[in-house]
Amino acid sequence: MTAPLRLFNSLTRELETFEPVHPGEARVYSCGPTVYNYPHIGNMRAYVFADVLGRTLSWKGYTLTHVINITDVGHLTDDADEGEDKLEKAARANAQSIWDIARHYTEAYWSDIKALNIRAPAHWSIATDYIEPMIEFANSIADRHCYQLETGLYFDTSTVADYGRLARAHTEEGEGRIEAVEGKRNAADFAIWRTTPPGETRQMEWDSPWGRGAPGWHLECSVMSGQLLGFPFDIHTGGIDHREIHHPNEIAQNQAFCCTGALSQPANSGARLWMHNNFLVERSGKMSKSSGEFLRLQLLIDRGYHPLAYRMMCLQAHYRSELEFSWEGLGAALTRLKRMVMAVQSVKARHAELGSASMAPAQAEGWTSKHVQGDEWGKLATPLTNFDEAMSEDLNTPVALTVLEEALAMKKVDPALKLAAVEAMDSVLGLGLLHLTRADLRLRPKDAAVSEAEIDAALARRKEARAAKDFATSDAIRDELAAQGVEVMDGDPLGWEWKL
């Protein structure tokens, strides 16, 4: 028996048993990046979370349709609709076209997605590809739910039931920052279409029944999620910063569009479950903008950390807990990952040694919790059941990691079966444990003066000298390396051999 999948719904503040809208399917929408800058690793935490959610839904046997959007227009410098368009601003600052800016940062984001082993969604929906449907959506709700001001078409939040319920479930005042615009009927009302001010031209603007302008950011997500997944779909995800304004506004638009009532029926919001990951925090303050270091994945890589060490760091915390970033913590996550990789490699070596033919068949269609039920798993049945239970209980990755380590440490288990169990668990965790090697995980800062090949060559010479009991040469080589900043680590239990 596999455990029922229970997930925390931010809208009801309860753990709910997942029941798909369409039997056998799971349809998930995740708010994607606004592509005006490189993603901060804190932003990437949201996609690691959404990826683990998607992998868990696949593990539970659902056919997953995942959508992540790319916001290339309409997101103002303040979520609460104040300020200017983030992309227009970046384009002006860089004297580049907005399309070039969007393309550059979209590609940077995709490269981080790949480096973190995040599975590509079924659709990357790009906001500017959906302008027509956005205008149609706005048009269909305009009469009953909107009013026009000089600055654009505004959504009247008093026209839907329970406006702001999602935000109120998590904050005392229940309202985030709001834009002061003259003529607004309610403080929380927001623009769903922003008209270009007279005398101005924007790089991105379109004709609409409310004048030339651009869609509001909240409208974009309502339209793309509804178009690609159909209302109501199963799960909408995002960072907790979206609980205050962006998601309550999406929900209000969805209610208006679908003509649904009170949010006591969560599906009236457009999705059955709303899930949010907590922040990545950096308490030391060393990482502030003033130090000139922007905490993006490439900086971690430049400092010698494999990107999957960051994925490991994310998995070590529950997605609803704050995650504190520190270089020490990242180092510890890297060490933990390396221990796992080394354990897998020794199982592989034993497997090769035994020439064992009993390798449990790899699951071409992907592993599911059903594949790990049964007597053939022997002693591994317990960790596999525990793993399934941990992931099924609101994606408890910290416990799942411990279970995986316990399975790896088990004695007198057929190595073929153990490898299959690791493959099954890693299909959910996504650490790439069967493919990573110890060498992949070496710390190798970008600015290191000495190349890895040189170090390896020196170490090989040293090994020969030691074998010949020529300790003077061996010590000389060690000192030479030390002078170049390479510390030789004889007998290190983690087998690092050397570090810079």
Contacting residues toward Zn ion, per CB under 5 A: 31, 221
Per DSSP, helices labelled H in 316-451 are 327-354, 381-392, 397-409, 415-429
Cβ closest to Zn ion, residue 31 vs residue 413: 31
Shortest distance (Å) from residue 415 CB to Zn ion: 46
Select 31 or 116, whichever has its Cβ closest to Zn ion.
31
CB neighbour list of residue 3: distance below 8 Å, 6 or more residues apart: 369, 388, 389, 392, 393
- Helix H or strand E segment including 224: helix 217-229
Helix (H, G, I), strand (E, B) or coil at 204: coil
In angstroms, rounded to a whole number, what is the distance separating the alpha carbons of residues 273 and 12?
9
Cβ-based nearer residue to Zn ion, 221 or 465:
221
The least CB distance from residue 224 to Zn ion, in Å, is: 8
Residue 239 or 307 with smaller CB distance to Zn ion: 239
Tokens of 230: 């159909």
Closest to Zn ion by CB, 237 or 474:
237
CB of 218 to Zn ion, least distance (A): 7
Q: Are strands 63-70 and 123-126 parallel, antiparallel or unpaired?
A: parallel
Beta bridge partners of 30: 68, 237
> Strands 14-17, 6-9: parallel, antiparallel or unpaired by DSSP?
antiparallel
Q: Where are the alpha helices (DSSP H) in 77-150?
A: 86-93, 98-115, 131-145
Instruction: Tell me if residue 181 falls in helix, strand or coil.
Output: coil
Task: Report in angstroms how near the CB of residue 155 gets to Zn ion at its nearest.
Answer: 15
Q: Of 241 and 414, which CB lies nearer to Zn ion in the complex structure?
A: 241
Gap between the Cα atoms of 5 and 430, Å rounded: 19
Q: Closest distance between Zn ion and the C-beta of residue 285, in Å? A: 30
Strands 280-281 and 123-126: unpaired
In angstroms, give the least distance from the CB of 46 to Zn ion: 11
Minimum Å gap between C-beta 127 and Zn ion is 10
- Which is closer to Zn ion, CB of 197 or CB of 230? 230
Tell me the two tokens of residue 94: 């860089």
**CA-derived radius of gyration, the chain:** 26
When the beta carbons of 31 and 360 are compared against Zn ion, the nearer one is 31
Give, for 453, the enclosing helix (H) or strand (E).
helix 452-467
- Check: CB of residue 374 under 8 Å from CB of residue 392: no
- Shortest Å distance, C-beta 225 to Zn ion: 8
